[in-house]
Structure 1
Amino acid sequence: MKSFNTLVLLLCFTFCIAQNDEKPSATDLSSQTNYEKVHELRLGAFKLLAGGFLDISYEYINSTDSGLGVSLMLNLDDAIETEKLGLIPYYRFYFGDNPEFKGHGFFVEAFTYFYTGDQYEYYFSQQGNSVIEDDSFFDVAPGFAVGSKWINSGGFLFQIKFGIGRNLLSNSPDEFVGIGDFYVGYRF
């Protein structure tokens, strides 16, 4: 029993030491300068309020003039027929020059939009019955976007972006797809 208690105490002590060494404290995270903050989370405001689309974005600022990220689009409104779920990986080039912030100002973005959707066709059969056909599709649309990002010293940011991509697989009822919104977010 004595050796078992010693073993349990030794393991507890080891785990406590390991946890102490690996976790940064809250003061370390809050003392980062704006230049050292490289992670961003954003939410598309207009699409969410007006159209029922949830657009969540994550971006990693890898240098003073570039960043890479991914956006997730989710259609929350069943009345909207086309896009249901989309994933948009992107790479950005920034043209702002401020020694206090990385990745801000005017930008150009290259993206690829992978998305699924539904297309409903309404028609009448030869018997006069109303027929509704539901065709699901998947399409890929590479494209370009332009926009601008503003950030304050507290880490809160606003961004506006507009872009267009062309569908490659021709499964979607549309030849082109548009992206963009007014985003609100936070850099940490």
Structure 2
Amino acid sequence: MKTILNRVMNNKYSDMKDLLIISSAFLISICAFGQEDEPTDSEKRIEKFSVAKRNEISIDVISAIAIPALSPRYEYILGRYSGIGVDLFVNLDGDDYGYTDYEKYSLTPYYRQYFFSKEDYGARGFYAEGFLKFFIFEEWFYESINDSFTTNESSFFDTSIGAGIGWKWISQSGFLIDLGVGLGRNLGLPSDDFVGWEVQPRGGLNFGWRF
């Protein structure tokens, strides 16, 4: 009788031991799974920064110095990997006929996709964009009338569609530098006598702020 009782007790202890091992393994698996889903400190900073700061304002310093022109930009950050924005261009050198043809005004909405945004603050690093550009182009020429030369000027409106690439640096405080280039194809020409560009360049070096 004692032998049988010992066997029963040993079986109970063995079953309890197996149950404890299985339960421990199950709890460890749950903890490990929970730790994998827990965001890292870097991911938390990204999320906090992306939610708190989604607006950007910047200005192209190259066009301001070289032309000169006023070219501000606004971009709204949709998320860690994308953004939409618009560029405004106003040529401030319209009365200086240093060019036979030049862009007077333009408005360029765009969409961007960012590819290296897992680090730091999101919507940064290398990007590719598609844009649609609406612009007014002006050209001037000399014309001889009655043995005297006069200056004539004409302007027209056109639309260009294109794509570009670039890189954006941004600090934790929100200061940004955006360097990009691109090309766009004009969708229409005013006449057969048109001598302007059929391909629209796009690019610039923007300094600004995310807030």
TM range, smaller chain: 0.7 to 0.9
Paired with 1:165 and 1:35, the residues of 2 have a C-alpha distance of 30
Q: Which amino acid aligns with 2:181?
A: F
In structure 1, the residue matched to 2:17 is none
Distance 2:113 2:205 in 1: 19
Counterpart position of 1:7:
none
User: Hey, what's the Cα distance between the residues in 1 that align with 2:57 and 2:144?
Assistant: 47
2:93 to 64, 77, 100: 77
Residue of structure 2 aligned with 1:44, choices 39, 57, 60: 60
Q: Structure 1 stretches (4+) deviating beyond 4 angstroms?
A: none
Q: Is structure 2 residue 73 aligned with structure 1 residue 57?
A: yes
Report the Cα offset of residue 55 of structure 1: 0.9
Q: Which structure 2 segments of 5+ residues have no match?
A: 1-46
- For each residue in 1:49-77, what CA deviation from the matched residue of structure 2 results, as whole angstroms up to 9, or x when unmatched? 12111111000110211100111001011
For 1:101 and 1:51, how far apart are their aligned partners in 2?
34
| 2-structure distance, mates of 1:53, 1:163 | 19
Q: Is the 8 A contact 1:148 1:159 kept in 2?
A: yes
Q: Distance in 2 between matches of 1:85 and 1:59?
A: 19
Name 1:140's counterpart in structure 2: 159
Which residue does the alignment assign to 2:49?
34
Task: Report if aligned partners of 1:44, 1:184 keep a CA contact under 8 Å in 2.
Answer: yes
After TM superposition, the score normalised by the length of structure 1 is 0.78
- For the pair shown, which has the larger CA radius of gyration, 1 or 2? 2
Residue among 94, 105, 108 paired with 2:128: 108
Residue equivalent to 1:183: 206
| Percent identical | 34
Question: Over aligned residues, Cα RMSD in angstroms?
Answer: 1.6
Distance 2:48 2:175 in 1: 14
Q: Is the 8 A contact 1:34 1:155 kept in 2?
A: no
Aligned pairs, number: 156
**Do the aligned residues in 1 keep the contact of 2:124 with 2:167 (CA within 8 Å)?**
yes
Between Structure 1 and Structure 2, which shows a larger proportion of helix residues? 2
Paired with 1:131 and 1:43, the residues of 2 have a C-alpha distance of 37
